[in-house]
Structure 1
Amino acid sequence: MMEQLSKHVFYPLWDVKDRSQRLAEWKALERQQWWPREDIETLQWQRLQGMIRHAARNSPFYRDLLAEHGVQAESIDSPAEFRRIPVTTKQSIRNHLDAFISDASSRASLVTAKTGGSTGVSLNLYFDEPCQERRNAAQLLADRWAGWDMGMKRASVWGNPPVPQGLKQTLRHHLLDRTIYLDTMDLNPESMGAFVERWRREIPGAVFGHAHSIYIFAQYLQDNGIHDLRPHGIVATSMMLLDHERRVIESAFDCRVTNRYGCEEVGLIACECEQHNGMHLNLPHVYVEFLDANDEPVAPGEPGKIVVTDLNNFAMPLIRYRVEDVGVYSERRCECGRGLPILERLEGRVADFLKLPTGGQVSGISLVERTLTKVPGIEQMQLVQETLDNLTINRVKGPEFDAGTDPALLAALREVFDERVRCTIQDVAAIPQEPSGKYRFSICRV
């Protein structure tokens, strides 16, 4: 009953009270996802042109940038013309934060956020309320693809869970958010056991959280023979979902995992639908490019650096913003029938790619995944490259560990790194977390 009240009564009333456009935008997205792809792209292009014109008038950073490169906002009528605008980097935001904020916005009235800085650069960010509402609408749409409907209680596997402050936040927590938390900053048998007992009392319908943290919890359930936690949907986000992690999670919960990709700077970028075969790009809200080292488009099927333009945030426009991730775009049409194109797969952060002495590079995440599936006896591993010729392997022993595990691990790595690279295995009890609660399995400091 509470789930139905939350969905059909509390959510609509809260939107009316806040004069929010979240539910109206969600309903629009529900319709737009089934449009022909050409119609969605037309809508996206119109919104992109509107954002460029707004930034040219109101954002000091983009006003100066366009003028410096001789780009007229009104003349951008094709992707090729759009690419005349230089790519924006994290460093640009750090160095010129005030210049990004729109002249039409009062900073005191904006919503603020800060990225965790796991790639070495933390950012302060600003959004207006309509931007937040549209982003929340996109999350609602993606939640439903996962089987997690509005009003359904969720189990959140997340770091530093928020504590409601004041009457309004407390009411929202109980009537709308309806969340129980497993704090990923304190994952241990005792905390996970207590969370299982709370789950059994409150019976959440969905799981949401860091991909690897959900995996650790799923392993705990399997190791302890716990088989009665059965959500309707699981959303893994915030970090790459590895194939072996997906298998363990789905086995432990008897539920498919929905992989979701986004970032604090621009919100939802892509998400799997119920087909679980690639992630649909969020075209109504973001314009996504896949570029090579020269900032030129790569062909479909080839890895490219992901560059995103936010079509929602008029308070702090981000145009052609490099998110420091690498992904593969596909022209393949999904069997679900939606008109939204496909992000075939993520290949990791730019900072996750390890350097080779020959001048090439390798996806650290892909190497970790391949090694974990190839070499028995490893529970977890992390690759840290401090210098071009030194690679540290933080290795957690698994149940099948024996005298042959580490030699097999080194042999697998030697298929990629020649003898010029010194590979050192460190026996660790667990892979350390980032301050945000996330995990990084490949770190390049070269």
Structure 2
Amino acid sequence: MAGVMFRLAHQLIYPGFMDHYRRLMKNQFRSREELVGDQASSLRALMMFAYDKVPYYHDLLKERNLRPDDFRTIGDLERLPVLTKDVIKANCDAFVPSDLATRRYERKATGGSTGTPFPYRMSRYDKMLSMCHLYRGWSYAGYQLGDRTVFMGGSSLTMGVGSSATRHVHEVVKNIRMLSSFDMDEAHMRSYADSINRFTPKFMFGYASSIYFFSKWLKENNVQVKSPVAVFTTAEKLFPEARKGIEDVFRCEVLDTYGLNDGGVSAFECLEHRGMHVDTERAIMEVVDPEGHQTSKGEGRILATSL
């Protein structure tokens, strides 16, 4: 019943959700060459839109004597300068698409981990894809749509859903419980433990530091909670000590995730623990060397191009 309600709620809010989710689930078995080919096609469509609708990119391409059809592969992204927050701030109006009034979007803001939170617009379609990716990433540990899940985090994990009534609706239709990482005193953590034991979640998802802090409190106070199938950590670096501590207390697998929501990049660890599966349908993730050239070896900076 919970799975049916979950699917129905997502389908009503985001028409086409189930079709896109099924497509993404099939994509994990396609070859890398096919997925990269899809990205190249999406990149060409994006460049056409940017040239036709976004003043900043129209002027930039003309200045560099480029046309949208010059971008045939992911490697062609090197022909563009890296877009920074400072550039956007200095040319804010030039980044507003001419057809913005006809588009459905939500206003978001980054978490501010590199300084001040940065506002951005996110299309409803992009929001839907982000959820499809999240659920597919969780499926690597056996998650199925509608499985009971506890969230422990802040507004970036849907904590800021408005009134208590709205929050309750979210919890019921998504079969989740939301525990705030900003209320981690003795009384709240004891209530969190009670809530988990009543709800008996199959999975737990949240900020790495918050779940680790909670796990240390459970151990120090000799409080037992029902073991989920897996714990998914996000938002912060998961250090080996934290992974081990969470595994020991919750007695389950711990799988890390990487997310750059404003850039569309996401990646998920699976049960083999040999790295992360990088999603390809929502964004292009480049790894570049100090000179800004794409590289597939060694370390580098991540550049994100939302599609």
Name which of structure 1's ranges 204-213 and 105-114 shifts more when overlaid on structure 2: 105-114
Describe the shift of the 1:14–1:80 C-alpha distance in structure 2 as closer, same or farther (beyond 3 A). Answer: closer
Q: Tell me the amino acid that sits aligned with residue 153 of structure 1.
A: R
Given that residues 122 and 262 in structure 2 are in contact (C-alpha distance below 8 angstroms), is that contact kept between their aligned partners in structure 1? no
How far apart are 1:279 and its partner, in Å? 0.7
Deviations 1:141-169 (A, max 9, x none): 11212333221222211135335549776
Q: Tell me the amino acid that sits aligned with residue 304 of structure 2.
A: V
How far apart are 1:13 and its partner, in Å? 2.5
**Gapped runs of 5+ residues in structure 1?**
312-446
Of residues 121, 126, 129 in structure 2, which corresponds to 1:126?
Answer: 121
**2-structure distance, mates of 1:225, 1:111:** 43
Describe the shift of the 1:109–1:45 C-alpha distance in structure 2 as closer, same or farther (beyond 3 A). Answer: closer
- Determine the structure 1 residue equivalent to 2:148: 153
Structure with more helix by fraction: 2
Given that residues 206 and 233 in structure 1 are in contact (C-alpha distance below 8 angstroms), is that contact kept between their aligned partners in structure 2? yes
How far apart are 1:237 and its partner, in Å? 0.4
**2-structure distance, mates of 1:15, 1:69:** 43
Q: Tell me the amino acid that sits aligned with residue 15 of structure 2.
A: S
Given that residues 208 and 234 in structure 1 are in contact (C-alpha distance below 8 angstroms), is that contact kept between their aligned partners in structure 2? yes
RMSD between aligned residues: 2.2
Given that residues 146 and 257 in structure 1 are in contact (C-alpha distance below 8 angstroms), is that contact kept between their aligned partners in structure 2? no
Given that residues 155 and 182 in structure 1 are in contact (C-alpha distance below 8 angstroms), is that contact kept between their aligned partners in structure 2? yes
Of residues 256, 272, 288 in structure 2, which corresponds to 1:291?
Answer: 288
- Determine the structure 2 residue equivalent to 1:262: 259
TM-score, scaled to structure 2: 0.91
Describe the shift of the 1:59–1:166 C-alpha distance in structure 2 as closer, same or farther (beyond 3 A). Answer: farther
**Residues 1:239 and 2:221 aligned together:** no
How far apart are 1:108 and its partner, in Å? 8.3
Q: Tell me the amino acid that sits aligned with residue 45 of structure 1.
A: A
Given that residues 262 and 270 in structure 1 are in contact (C-alpha distance below 8 angstroms), is that contact kept between their aligned partners in structure 2? yes
Larger-Rg structure: 1
**2-structure distance, mates of 1:169, 1:104:** 33
Q: Tell me the amino acid that sits aligned with residue 70 of structure 1.
A: N
Matches within 5 A, 1:397-436: none
Q: Tell me the amino acid that sits aligned with residue 126 of structure 1.
A: R
TM-score, scaled to structure 1: 0.64
Matches within 5 A, 1:349-360: none
- Determine the structure 2 residue equivalent to 1:272: 269
**Residues 1:73 and 2:68 aligned together:** yes
Deviations 1:262-320 (A, max 9, x none): 123024421112212101111122111111232122341x2111001111xxxxxxxxx
Count of aligned pairs between the two proteins: 304
**Gapped runs of 5+ residues in structure 2?**
none
- Determine the structure 2 residue equivalent to 1:142: 137
Q: Tell me the amino acid that sits aligned with residue 308 of structure 1.
A: A
**Residues 1:230 and 2:249 aligned together:** no
- Determine the structure 2 residue equivalent to 1:173: 171
How far apart are 1:85 and its partner, in Å? 0.9
**2-structure distance, mates of 1:253, 1:12:** 29
How far apart are 1:171 and its partner, in Å? 3.2
Of residues 101, 108, 131 in structure 2, which corresponds to 1:106?
Answer: 101
- Determine the structure 1 residue equivalent to 2:12: 17
**1-structure distance, mates of 2:286, 2:219:** 40
State the secondary structure of the residue aligned to 1:12.
helix
**2-structure distance, mates of 1:212, 1:183:** 13
How far apart are 1:14 and its partner, in Å? 2.6
How far apart are 1:238 and its partner, in Å? 0.6
